[in-house]
Amino acid sequence: MTDRAPFLIVETGQPVGSLKRYGRFPHWIRVAAGLAARDVTEVNAERGEPLPEPHGLAGVIVTGSAAFVTDRAPWSEHTAGWIREVVQEGTPLLGICYGHQLLAHALGGEVDYNPAGRESGTVFIDLHPPAFEDPLFAGMPPRFAAHATHLQTVIRPPEGAAVLARSEQDACHAFRWGQGAWGVQFHPEFATHHMRGYVHARAECLRNHGRCPRTVAREVSAAPQARRLLRRFVKHARGQHGAGTHARGADRG
């Protein structure tokens, strides 16, 4: 047992069929984040499972998905409303890929198809100056490798958001809203076998966008800096929750 507040992983989709043998997205995220199973609760938002009150949670992580935010599916719109309430209440939240886009949409930003086409494979992320003082990105190299696979993107970030990073194809690969909500377009939970699996699964789409799947797969490499971001989020959220608990205890004294 643990007396530490749990992290909630909101599941918004499933891996491609060839990668399901490695488990579902919450498992990939939990392992990369260094969290024990007892430290995590999961809700499958795509299947309509009820989303809990954020009180008592250390933080929230929203997964990727093959769905499109622009489809405005009822479950997705409901989740967006819940995300808006969570971040406005100050619970730390990290959105990954679809979760990144859904966070932007929830806060009034714009999501649509990336004019540059599909981004897939190991890409290079370039940090903007605001990232150098950001709680998650401070101390990271100004350029690092990350894994990405997406057609849609954040065309316009929410008002007041700090854009933290870009890639050659995507001007908003990471943003922070307020003091505790982050979206990242790349997949910090992906290992190289996950990324290669997605390149193979999306081979036809890559060809349609003028890319050679074999070349993209061959250029997949490890992305340790991007992967560390999940542990940075966990550490930050734990610290924030501990500070909040201490403050509430002082108020009661």
Concatenating the DSSP letter of every residue in 89-103 gives HT--EEEETHHHHHH
The C-alpha angle with vertex 161 and arms to 155 and 166, in degrees rounded to 5, equals 55
Among all chains, which residue has been given the structure tokens 């499972």?
49
Dist. CA 96–CA 113, nearest whole Å: 17
How do the domains of the chain map onto residue ranges?
7-252
Nearest 5 degrees, angle CA 101-CA 80-CA 177? 60
The Cα 44–Cα 68 span in angstroms is 16
Asked if 186 and 148 count as a contact pair (C-beta separation under 8 A), the reply is yes
| Residue 253 reports pLDDT greater than 90 | no
189 noted as active-site residue: yes
- The pLDDT of residue 55: 86
Q: What is the pLDDT of residue 119?
A: 96
Q: CB under 8 Å to 25, separation ≥6 — which residues?
A: 9, 11, 13, 14, 15, 63, 64, 189
Q: Which CATH class is domain 7-252?
A: alpha beta
Span 37-75, pLDDT tens digits: 999 999 999 999 999 998 889 999 999 999 999 999 999
The per-residue pLDDT for 242 is 67
> Quick check: 2 pLDDT over 80?
no
Other CB atoms within a 10 A radius of the CB of residue 224 amount to 9
Query: Can 97 be counted among the known catalytic residues?
Result: yes
Q: Which DSSP state fits 151? A: S
With 70 as the cut, is the pLDDT of residue 1 above it?
A: no
What would the two tokens of residue 74 be? 């009822």
The catalytic residue among 128, 173, 189, 241 is 189
**pLDDT per position as a tens digit, 131-184:** 999 999 999 999 999 999 999 999 999 999 999 999 999 999 999 999 999 999
Give me the catalytic one of 100, 150, 173, 187: 187
Closest of 182, 158, 150, 54 to residue 108, by C-alpha: 158
Decide if pLDDT at 249 tops 60: no
Name the active-site residue from 97, 100, 128, 241: 97
Distance CA 131, CA 39 (A): 28
Q: Is 187 a catalytic residue?
A: yes
Residues 106 and 187 sit within 8 Å (Cβ to Cβ): no
